[in-house]
Amino acid sequence: MTGEYLLIAVTALAGLIVLAIASLRGWQGWLTLKTRELEQHRPEVEGGAASGMARIEIADLKERIRKLEAIAAGVDL
């Protein structure tokens, strides 16, 4: 009787391990898929900067233009 229960327990444990491994592989595949999707939809500017960096670069360029216009107009900053 005890041998039968041990066999059932070992078989159930093996099935659980197989199921866990299959689930983990599926999860890793899903994460890989989502990573690729994010990389495809990421807008990039020169130098490979992401959209946040692009906004900072644009703000920096606008500031430089404002300073150059002030210099050209003869305004002392």
pLDDT tier at 71, thresholds 50, 70, 90: confident
55-to-2, 39, 41, 44 alpha-carbon distances in Å = 69, 18, 17, 11
The DSSP letter of residue 46 is: G
Q: How many domains does the chain have?
A: 2
Q: Is the pLDDT of residue 3 over 80?
A: yes
Q: Does 4 share its domain with 27? A: yes
Give residue 73's pLDDT. 86
Domain boundaries, position 59: 44-77
Q: Does 34 share its domain with 53? A: no
Q: What pLDDT, in 10s, does the model give residues 13-70?
A: 999 999 999 999 999 999 999 999 988 876 555 555 566 777 888 888 999 999 998 8
Give residue 1's pLDDT. 79
Instruction: Please give the model's pTM, rounded to 2 decimal places.
Output: 0.48
Q: Does 57 share its domain with 21? A: no
